[in-house]
Structure 1
């Protein structure tokens, strides 16, 4: 039996209660949390789950400044799709691998990737992730065959196409179906909800009717606030969504934003009327629940996917509230260790 321990201030359980002590890990699982005195300034918290990514466009970071959302990402001829077609498979794989390495190094344990390019795109992502300690849920796009090669299907939006065939095939395969909705306006939200998806992405323009439908159906939502402001479509109603369903954080397209959950948390916490604990749940356990992963919390029985921050860096020293410090202040330079054990 292999055993590892981590000491410091532990953000324990769903409330992230700060306790001094040690986390005991045995065979890739959190075995115990022992409240004991330590001499460590470290802060131990669950590693992040990034609930919505498009890693494929890592080949074109900061391309397309000043373009509208449709000009940037609308299939089939938005800028990202043209750039993806122009790049070789090896170029795309290497760019994705570098983004995934950054995600691991900055404390991300898992992600939900909407993967363009059909079966070939799914295979390219698998090549990029090979050997890295990240646990992606890959959502194939564009074809039923891509869904069959992946973990599920990720639809672009109900105004782009009729996804009934893909939804039915995904249900028959027993896999999750996610869909963008309410990013540009509200017109595609009801059609998306009519597909009975397993989760929605964005919901920037959700109205009371849509919020009620989300609550009644208990459909979780992944929000990407930095991306929404970069593309000038608005800001998601995070507080209203949290009152009704599970809400998780995603960083969206790499060519628009760094896939840093630290940046996404700070942005959400400072612009939405929600608590730091709400935001930390959005960045960890809520995404884990959408992805059906047994991580996202520091508690016995969970997979040992842990992020350790040095609480004595010049940035974090003197922080009075470790949860607020993690959410609103911490960054990649504060990372002391990322432990992503295989269960």
Structure 2
């Protein structure tokens, strides 16, 4: 198959007119040539931090603190998850996953509550869909063994040393929430040598120095942080030191739309549109070990074509900026997610 139009090529998203040639699920060639297409071809998004199970209770818990909302074991989300039936949880997750797929997300990294059963629920919800889930089990090493790794709640909830060692021995991915409420749990989290950190809203100079030395990737979720009242991450400071990716976090707090997350991050922080688009694509892919997120020959062809002639996008002078700050679900023309 071929996709024609303005192609945002490579990690710098250089706009070139031409076509992307796809063979056997991979990008066979990117050919520069004149076309009649007004499409804008970009990599499918990688949502680097989600809690899809929260789909059972969208917009629940208004006015509650972060601990009241999500702290294990009795935060609102955990109580609601316990109360919901298996069928309710699977169906709610499936609907969110369909929305993510339709809005251009090709892969996501999920911190999956509920132990082994929670991992199995997500597998059921993903059945027949093209979106790719990188599932990090929580709560038990059994959940890690049944999934792609371990997603720790945070160092204030335990030391997670045994889980980290087990995950490392299994050669799987280990991520941990940290620095969301304050800075107290950042050093303990970094001491575990995780594959990535989530949130980092409150790093102090010594933590930034550690990032300089250790270059541990960070996933930021600025919309979620604002909703829960904990502040916003210093995205520019983090980007100066390490790989930074974007995630949408809890579905019951925010729509899992990478368009919304990109626009918010770009308008909030002193970062360029190109940097934000990288955070939404190749940065998450790098963290999760996925062979996608960038339009280069040989890469998996997980692509998104936007209609550049919609009333929303027509007349855009800076294509990358328009994708990041202006585009939305209604501008999606085609999502290509081959196996």
What TM-score comes out, normalization by structure 2 length? 0.99
| Structure 1: stretches of 5+ with no match in the other structure | none
Structure 1 residue 211: deviation in Å?
Answer: 1.2
Structure 1 residue 215: deviation in Å?
Answer: 2.2
Q: Which of 208-217 and 170-179 deviates more?
A: 208-217
The question of 1:37 aligning with 2:44 is answered no
| Structure 2: stretches of 5+ with no match in the other structure | none
Aligned to 1:293: 290
C-alpha deviations, 1:232-253, integer Å up to 9, x for none?
0000010000000000000000
The question of 1:131 aligning with 2:128 is answered yes
What TM-score comes out, normalization by structure 1 length? 0.98
The question of 1:244 aligning with 2:252 is answered no
Within 5 Å, give how 1:308-323 maps onto structure 2. Answer: 308-323=305-320
Deviating beyond 6 angstroms after TM superposition, the runs of 4 or more aligned structure 1 residues are none
Please state whether the residue corresponding to 2:155 is helix, strand or coil: coil
The question of 1:210 aligning with 2:211 is answered no
C-alpha deviations, 1:134-182, integer Å up to 9, x for none?
1111000000100000100000000011211111111111111100000
**CA distance, structure 1, for counterparts of residue 71 and residue 124 of structure 2:** 26
**CA distance, structure 1, for counterparts of residue 238 and residue 209 of structure 2:** 10
**CA distance, structure 2, for counterparts of residue 276 and residue 224 of structure 1:** 17
Aligned to 1:21: 18
Within 5 Å, give how 1:101-140 maps onto structure 2. Answer: 101-140=98-137
Within 5 Å, give how 1:137-156 maps onto structure 2. Answer: 137-156=134-153
Within 5 Å, give how 1:152-171 maps onto structure 2. Answer: 152-171=149-168
C-alpha deviations, 1:73-103, integer Å up to 9, x for none?
0000000000000000110000000000000
Please state whether the residue corresponding to 2:312 is helix, strand or coil: coil
Aligned to 2:181: 184
Structure 1 residue 216: deviation in Å?
Answer: 1.1
Structure 1 residue 16: deviation in Å?
Answer: 0.3
Aligned to 1:6: 3
User: Over the residues paired in the alignment, what is the CA RMSD in angstroms?
Assistant: 0.5
The question of 1:73 aligning with 2:77 is answered no
